[in-house]
């Protein structure tokens, strides 16, 4: 709890472009004012978090948090639980989709065993921070103890702090855990007040009858555990997952170090809701990468007040969408910091009367 409290104390509020210098810089570039649309928005957020107009992106990492879930015993996923461990090994071999995406954007992959129901040997790229061998089956009671919920949050804090010495300018979140859209749906229903049916999707490919069973299971989970939405750690403990807690902790730790976070899909956004409920100031450090195919993702993003960068109907997780979003943020930052100004390019400035009026 001490590490969590210290982290929360170090999170500062953010004002977007407080002195207007980022806007002034964009207006000086040899391009029509506002012509790059939301790329300018992403760069402005990044520069504001860093408190530096010419802040660059050199060190990028995706943290793929892995954990198993006791609720998988209720047949809420199309895949068996052992797939979690199998996919972790694939990440470590470097032949999974997340590895390809990371290579494409020049990011390193950090895989974290937060609570996988198998043991791994210590290898390069793996952080073993196991809270337990999967959560309890939350249809019968809490997924974890209060102490384990705090431990999972501190796992996310620890792994970020450990990576600082290597260099870390921006982070992307990712997840791996069979059945983890079930606790994510429960969390989103609890924290948004929306009905379970409205926020629950088919996960990794359930058919209609499987989806209906999943909805009934989540409704029962909420009835049995009665998580208190005003107490986010209680929500995490009763209906969450170890990797969800770790992603939330990562968000908190990144904010405490003024590091922007690209949040991935449905599971990462559920974790972001937990983090923002614990400390609302963290919200301004979060950039929503995409809208996934899961039913409740857009609802969760609306609760956070986030407009996603893109919608490609993704639903893989692992951090894939977050890395694609990171690539667009980086393009915006490069435009801000590297594009020639009108004077440098020897291009005539537009007439003042034709400049876009700022609101």
Could you confirm whether 318 is annotated as catalytic?
yes
Measure the CA–CA gap between 79 and 89, rounded to whole angstroms: 16
Name all contacts of 278-282 with Cβ < 8 Å and 24+ positions apart. Answer: 278/8, 278/153, 278/232, 278/233, 278/248, 278/252, 279/8, 279/11, 279/252, 279/255, 281/11, 281/12, 281/13, 281/14, 281/255, 282/11, 282/251, 282/252, 282/255
145 CA to centre of own chain: 23
Q: State the sign of the Cα–Cα–Cα–Cα dihedral 77, 271, 329, 295.
A: positive
Of 179, 209, 178, 185, the closest CA to residue 296 belongs to: 185
- How far is CA 267 from each of CA 5, 52, 175, 187, rounded to the nearest angstrom? 24, 31, 7, 10
- How far is CA 224 from each of CA 108, 221, 227, rounded to the nearest angstrom? 41, 5, 9
Cβ contact 301:311 at 8 Å = no
List, in sequence order, every residue forming a beta bridge with 288; answer none if it has no partner: 263
- How far is CA 312 from each of CA 291, 321, 328, rounded to the nearest angstrom? 7, 9, 14
Instruction: Compute the chain's Rg from CA coordinates.
Output: 21
Using DSSP's 3-state secondary structure scheme, residue 63 falls into: strand
141: which DSSP letter? S
Using DSSP's 3-state secondary structure scheme, residue 304 falls into: helix
Question: Which helix (H) or strand (E) covers residue 108, if one does?
Answer: strand 108-115
302, 318, 344, 358: which is the annotated catalytic residue?
318
Q: State the sign of the Cα–Cα–Cα–Cα dihedral 259, 260, 262, 268.
A: positive
Where in the sequence numbering do the catalytic residues fall?
318
């Amino acid at each position: 709890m001490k590490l969590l409290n210290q982290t929360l104390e170090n999170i500062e509020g953010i004002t977007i472009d407080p002195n207007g210098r980022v806007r002034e810089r964009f207006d000086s570039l040899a391009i029509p004012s506002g012509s790059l649309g939301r790329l300018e928005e992403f760069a402005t957020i990044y520069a504001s978090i860093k408190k530096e107009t010419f802040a660059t992106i050199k060190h990028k990492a995706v943290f793929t948090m892995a954990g198993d879930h006791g609720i998988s015993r209720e047949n809420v996923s199309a895949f068996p639980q052992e797939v979690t461990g199998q996919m972790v090994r694939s990440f470590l071999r470097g032949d999974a989709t997340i590895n390809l995406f990371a290579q494409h954007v020049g990011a390193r992959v950090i895989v974290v065993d937060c609570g996988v129901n198998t043991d791994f040997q210590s290898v390069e790229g793996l952080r073993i921070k196991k809270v337990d061998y999967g959560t309890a089956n939350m249809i019968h009671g809490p997924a974890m103890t209060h102490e384990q919920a705090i431990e999972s949050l501190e796992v996310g804090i620890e792994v970020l702090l450990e990576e600082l010495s290597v260099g870390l300018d921006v982070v992307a979140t990712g997840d791996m855990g069979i059945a983890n859209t079930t606790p994510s749906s429960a969390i989103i229903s609890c924290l948004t007040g929306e009905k379970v049916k409205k926020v629950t999707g088919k996960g990794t490919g359930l058919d209609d009858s499987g989806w209906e069973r999943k909805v009934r299971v989540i409704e029962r989970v909420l009835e049995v555990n009665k998580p208190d939405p005003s107490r986010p750690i209680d929500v995490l403990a009763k209906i969450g997952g170890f990797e969800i807690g770790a992603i939330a902790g990562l968000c908190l730790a990144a904010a405490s170090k003024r590091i922007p976070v690209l949040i991935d899909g449905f599971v990462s956004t559920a974790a972001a809701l937990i983090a923002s409920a614990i400390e609302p100031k963290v919200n301004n450090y979060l950039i929503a990468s995409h809208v996934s195919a899961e039913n409740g993702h857009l609802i969760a993003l609306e609760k956070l007040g986030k407009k996603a960068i893109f919608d490609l109907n993704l639903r893989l997780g692992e951090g894939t969408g977050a890395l694609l979003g990171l690539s667009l943020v980086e393009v915006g930052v490069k435009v801000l910091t590297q594009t020639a100004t009108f004077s440098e390019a020897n291009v005539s400035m537009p007439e003042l009367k034709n400049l876009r009026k700022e609101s």
